[in-house]
Amino acid sequence: MTPLADSFGIKEALTQLGIKALNEGASTGINRFSNGEILESYSPVDGQLIASVRTTSAADYETLMQTATEAFQTFRLIPAPKRGEIVRQFGDKLRKKKEALGKLVSYEMGKSLQEGYGEVQEMIDICDFAVGLSRQLHGLTMHSERPGHRMYEQYHPMGVVGVISAFNFPVAVWAWNTALAWICGDVCVWKPSEKTPLCGIACQNIIAEVLQENNLPEGISCLINGDYKVGELMTNDKRIPLISATGSTRMGKIVAQAVASRLGKSLLELGGNNAIIITPDADIKMTVIGAVFGAVGTAGQRCTSTRRLIIHESIYDTVKDALISAYGQLKIGNPLDEKNHVGPVIDTHAVKIYKKALEKVVAEGGQLLVKGGVLSGEGYESGCYVKPAIAEASNSFEIVQHETFAPILYLLKYSGSVENAIEIQKGVAQGLSSSIMTNNLREAELFLSVVGSDCGIANVNIGTSGAEIGGAFGGEKETGGGRESGSDAWKIYMRRQTNTINYTTSLPLAQGIKFDL
């Protein structure tokens, strides 16, 4: 273990999570379905190898799917509140291992330690939400038009749910899906990002303990590791009625076509190109805090990261100067050190994308206000540390229309009424998160109205990132239209059934149709 990682207790954290460090290889607990090629996980924090894992071969996958489908036959018969008890125990395990798992998230993915802890807390929160929900999987009772008939609807488990998650939230998004799927009676097969495989193994080890302690089948939670080829096994598999996929719009379109071709269901959480509208009635101090955190948090690698600021011309210079000043105070470095605001991007490929985006905005006529750049030298040996950048641009620029997963913020100017700003906000292909900063009630209500934001998330006087568990999370347009987490998102994980019971001695037909024999 490197001195940096060792000084922050990473080796101890890995041990607590059942993962052997570095060249010792990674333990997969009771998940035994990985006998393929070697996949190495390097930390963007210091560029060092954390552990090597085995990927899932086609033969492994087939054995895994048999195990999962058999487990479903048992799990679906367990009453939902008792399934909720399993999720409660999982949440308790997470509480005990929050520090260890949070450190792994930070070290393997590169987000700040506090964000790593926060991500594990999201897992705990969704477990709590799911436990309560396990006693509320309700249908509806309707009045039949036929005398002596009762009509109602109910929900049943779907079967095997496939979860494909991205590197930027390597544990929370899986929990959003599985905690709900489990209380619904489904079993889950999870393919974490190949960039953060150890986080997946750690979570699998934790739930495996719970399943063992309750004498439940291991197939209730299955893990597969590998690249897109492993994901293709899932998306083309008719035994998986629902695929929940988080990632880029490009990836989502591929998944959607593959799943639709077999008439399966997709839950897609894809790209975001999120904007904050700043009106003349905005609180500038609040605005700067929300905009900076939204733009540089997780090094700009959240799907809800703030990409665009749409600022009224009357306060444009004031906001611009405040942002430049705030960016000058940012501390970039080891994310395990809580004094730093910004950690690394995920890998050197992400660095290349960042550099190309900065070159592109200048080539299209934009101006860099905070130039950015790649950091090198002591503490930046991984080559994954970049400076957050700010550019003046136009919403029509090709690069502004594109979601760049990096800490680049575009400043856009608007004039006239807030309706003009809303049209700019809506003028991109993605529709995940949006915000308006204003103390004007009319502007706020217009933004939230049917003619306002076209995003799945619309906020007033807070930033674009930081969604809570209780609300359904997801977006429109090229963001995919899926909803995860809170509200009634549980319904996507179940099949809906309408039932009619005739308790008379006659058989009247609907719509008054006569059919006498």
Catalytic annotation, residues:
269, 303
Do the Cβ atoms of 274 and 307 come closer than 8 Å?
Answer: yes
Do the Cβ atoms of 371 and 389 come closer than 8 Å?
Answer: yes
Helix (H) or strand (E) holding 434: strand 433-437
Question: What 3-state DSSP class applies to 204?
Answer: helix
State the Cα–Cα distance between residues 275 and 418, nearest whole angstrom: 14
Do the Cβ atoms of 466 and 276 come closer than 8 Å?
Answer: no
State the Cα–Cα distance between residues 478 and 397, nearest whole angstrom: 18
Q: Which residues contact 158 (CB under 8 A, 6 or more apart)?
A: 184, 186, 241, 242, 493, 494, 495
> What are the beta bridge partners of residue 269?
246
Rounded (to 5) percent helix, strand, coil in the chain: 40, 20, 40
**Per residue in 207-219, is it b (16+ CB within 10 Å) or e — as a string?**
bbbbbeeeebbbb
The pair of three-digit structure tokens given for residue 457, joined into one six-digit string: 């998330």
State the Cα–Cα distance between residues 26 and 52, nearest whole angstrom: 6
The pair of three-digit structure tokens given for residue 498, joined into one six-digit string: 């309408």
Tell me which amino acid residue 154 is. Q
Tell me which amino acid residue 76 is. R
CB atoms within 10 A of CB 253: 14
**Angle at which helices 80-96 and 113-133 cross, to 10°:** 160
State the Cα–Cα distance between residues 266 and 255, nearest whole angstrom: 8
Cα distances from 262 to residues 1, 79, 157, 221, 495, in angstroms, run 47, 30, 19, 24, 17
